[in-house]
With several copies, the nearest count.
Chain A
Amino acid sequence: MQKTQTSTPSNRTTIIERLREAGILAILLLGAVVFSFAVPSFFSVDNAINGIGLSAAINTIVAIGLTYVIITGGIDLSVGSTAALSAVIGADLMQRGLPALLAVVVALAVGAVAGLINGLLVTRVQLAPFIVTLGTMTFYRGLALSYTNGQPILSLPDGYKHALGGSVLGLPIPLIAALLLVAAFTLILRYTKTGQYILAIGGNAEAVRLSGINTSRYITLTYVISGMLAAFAALVLIAQLGAAEPILGSGWELSAIAASVVGGTSLAGGKGNVVGALLGALLLSMLQNVLTLLGVQAFYQLLATGLIIIGAMVIDRYTRGN
């Protein structure tokens, strides 16, 4: 979060940004090549899609929302709890016989409202995003647990499970959804006023306000997006797991922030991209996948995970910085 003065000369941010993404992409590919030789059964379309891709999908969806929030200079710790709350409400409604589509809409609305509350506390009451979402992280979790009395909801309609948990043309639907969302939110960030304002707010909120723009509205919007995407990720996850439990999603905030930051989003705000979040999520999933395939012992998994995260960032830093 230290603001470092870069005085590298260049004309177009986009080129740098692309190189930046290319940096992680390079690490991803490098990793893939190395692992293909080192790890049996790593190198296969199936493992790439169903092993790494699918497990990265959930994290990616959450990380998109977090990237938006972080770009404005905020943070959302409540994503996991929001996910759980939306999931149990959605699942409960399905169990009670509401059509799946309607239940999905309600679950997304729950996510949106959870995000809205975060956003309003940040913009209207002007509390620090960290504290607000730390508070709601606890609160929403409590709601999810009280709602189900701590029990998981087990019987989801098969139609629903197939719709969101299935696959199309060999690609799992969660992965397709994640990719579509990445594309959509990349376009929004780059090619709409809203996206531009979100970036601008992170760069210099005061200047944006002086331009006559209602910054509160856009900041709030990012929390709503984050809440809805967390809800959507939860819906995708429960379709796969076949059960919704109120403790779902714990630790999501950390993985999603990690994916975002590994992907080049700055926690200081003003800078970030959604494709990076996807690449970050893929990198983290690949790591997990390899460690599992290698059957690395629990303690050494921790050692390896830590080393590789930092190692990847160091490589990224030096390829980027010249």
Chain B
Amino acid sequence: MTVLPVTELLSAQHINKSFSGVHVLKDVQFLLRAGEVHALLGENGAGKSTLLKTLFGIYIPDSGILAVGGQPVTMHSPKDAQTHGIAMIHQELALIPELSVAQNVLLGNEGREVLNYAQMEARVRPFLAQVGLNIAPNTPVKRLTIAQQQMVEIARAVARQARIIIMDEPTSSLTTHEIEQLYVVVRELTASGVGIIYVSHHFDEIEALADRVTVLRDGNYIGTVDQKDVTQDQLVTMMVGRELAAQGTFVERTPGAVRLDVRGLNRNGVFEDISLQVHAGEVVTLAGLIGAGRTEVLRAIYGADPITSGQIELDGQPVPRPSPAVMMLRGVGFIAEDRRQQGIVPDAKVSVNMMLTSWAKGLVSVREADMRRSVEPQMQALGIRPANPNQTIRRLSGGNQQKVILGRWLAAGCGVLLIDEPTRGIDVASKADIYTLVDELARQGVAVLMVSSELPEVLRLSDRILVMREGRLAGELSRAQASEERILALATGAQTHAKDSNVHAV
């Protein structure tokens, strides 16, 4: 790297922030330079999002100094932050579902009072292209998958032409393909002098992008290091405060009888002719690119969306009219990919969120003491923090919310578990725990069908991998055959004519 003059874009010193007496940020410091990607690392609940929100004017710190370009500033609202050239991609999507992609990208930035859609769309197109989003700018956002929405958010931040871009877990719902695209975008931006604050739980991303890394633990500032000077293990140690065992590797399993049998599932215009089987004690993964239709298949199996044709059998018994209530009672569990819209009841307590399904199964009563007996072990096993079952779930960090939803089905117990992106937004330490948990579930004979866009995770967990492309099953890979390249090849269709003999095309 050539020696550039080091320009300070954004700095924060001695930042403190408490919520009702809970000290979330304790004397934290942070410094962003021009042209760098500065990663912010920490476990779930370490205070990353809180710090970023104070940098963006959403929270006002209880004490501390913020400076932009060396000048002290006070920011009372996102508007203030924007006038200082800061843009932010939020951990929880902040798009307007009814508006089009173009309108969302330019929201607050449209120019004249009278809107010129053609012009707006033209303005937006280059940014969509830049983030590799191949959709018409007039598509309403509500028609997009979460991943596409995430890319729209990224395009929006880019379109702001800010000097400082804050990205809070921008990749948590992206697949490898789009993540590569994001790398390109980030590199273009930094090359032009933009500073980027980057939060992710994926070390490969940190390695690929970050110049420097700041680590938070329990709201404390642990340190800032040059990325190339440290190893992943060292970073993890900084985050967790101790050495961490490896994430474990795939353990051989011996699947039992067929538990879930799906035959010829169709939904007009979304997916076609999906047939698959999951055995007891087996983990099967649906892999594929954005929009391949994996989420839709999972939802359809659970009865959350209607199907046009097809049949679902559980343990050899057909399910005539699948609906979530029916599937739940027959021992099927489901974790949706969109935590905020489809997972949590935001204003309810953690305990309520976790017990919804257990109640219906008659496993627990709503008596607080009774619930606690059920909730507390799950909270402990999943490392949910703060460990207070009476906390409103909205006030939990994103990763911890995800753990609560997992806990919902663990507490209720199920024979078949459908999981869409099981470790979205979950930190490295907890990820290992969750993998162990899935292993344990499989050992107990649960049939797991999962959708995951994280290839290492797919390879770590799956007995078999079904790859989807454009609403169809493109192929199946056994454990032995599977590799990241093969999955990608099937997902993109790059080798459909090459007839790789190892791949069992469906």
Binding site for B on A (CB under 8 A): 5, 7-14, 190-197, 199-200, 202-204, 206-214, 270-271
Contact = CB atoms under 8 A, between A and B. Distances in A.
B352 A10 contact: no
**Which are the 7 A-B pairs with shortest beta-carbon distances?**
A212-B328, A9-B20, A212-B79, A207-B94, A203-B345, A211-B108, A9-B19
Nearest to A187: B114
A103 B201 CA distance: 66
B96 interface: yes
Contacts of B365: 193
Interface string B334-367: 1010000111111111001001110110000111
A214 B325 contact: yes
B357 A211 contact: yes
Contacts of A210: 58, 78, 88, 90, 94, 302, 304, 324, 334, 336, 342-343
A203 B347 contact: yes
A213 B343 contact: no
A203 B349 CA distance: 11
Contacts of B286: none
B231 interface: no
B200 interface: no
Contacts of B355: 196
Contacts of A9: 18-22, 143, 269-270, 395
B82 interface: yes
A209 to B, nearest CB: 6
Contacts of B336: 207, 210
Given A211-B360, A213-B325, A13 B140 contact: yes
Interface of B: 18-22, 58-59, 77-79, 81-82, 88, 90, 94-100, 103, 107-110, 112-115, 117, 136, 138-140, 142-143, 269-270, 296, 299, 302, 304-305, 323-325, 327-329, 333-334, 336, 341-349, 352, 355-357, 359-360, 365-367, 388, 390-392, 395, 408
Contacts of B334: 210, 212
Contacts, number: 184
Contacts of A209: 77-78, 304, 324-325
21 contacts: A9-B269, A10-B20, A12-B139, A12-B140, A192-B113, A193-B110, A196-B355, A200-B96, A200-B99, A200-B103, A203-B345, A204-B97, A206-B94, A206-B341, A211-B78, A212-B108, A213-B108, A213-B356, A270-B96, A270-B97, A270-B345
Contact of A11 (B59, B352, B388): B388
Contacts of B347: 13, 203, 270-271
**Main secondary structure on A side of the interface with B:** helix
A203 B94 CA distance: 10
Nearest to A272: B98
A211 B348 contact: no
B391 A213 contact: no
Contact of B114 (A192, A200, A203, A212): A192
Contacts of A14: 390
Contacts of A191: 114-115, 117, 366-367
Contact of B98 (A7, A8, A199): A199
Given A212-B79, A213-B108, A193 B348 contact: no
Name the residue in A9, A196, A271 with the highest tally of chain B Cβ atoms < 10 Å from its Cβ: A196
